[in-house]
Amino acid sequence: MGKTIAILVARLIFAGAFAMAAGFKFAGMQMTADYIAAAGFPFPLFLAWVAAAFEVLLVLAFLTGAFFSEAALLAAVYVIFLAFAFHGPSHWQGNQAEFGFFVDHFTFLAGLLFAAVHGPGEKLAMKAGLIWK
């Protein structure tokens, strides 16, 4: 029972983190686009919408358990991309706090990789009818 509760809490944390990220993007899409543009990416408004939609899909995967391992792997790639693109070494000289943000992404990465390997939790997935083999 304790293992199932821990897995459920972890899934809720993953979903909550990406739900907040998507929510902030939807609440300030132009500000998100400006941040993306400042990092040097083309089509910043389009990329902001893509990021928000992707984060919503991750939330759904973490809450339902559908395509859980795949979603966790994609989220891991996304999180590391964000670490380097927005908090990487080129940002550290101007603001030392960026190094802390950068390192935090690796902690998140570790959890996502662990989740990808171990899946959504068999008891939780079976109860929701989400075991596909």
Nearest residue to 108 (alpha-carbon basis) of 16, 39, 24, 29: 16
Q: What is the pTM of this model?
A: 0.87
Q: What is the mean pLDDT of the chain?
A: 91
User: pLDDT of 95-122, one tens digit each?
Assistant: 889 899 999 999 999 999 999 999 898 7
> CB within 8 A of 133, min separation 6: which ones?
none
Q: Where are the domains of the chain?
A: 2-127
Joined together, the tokens standing for residue 100 give 């802390």
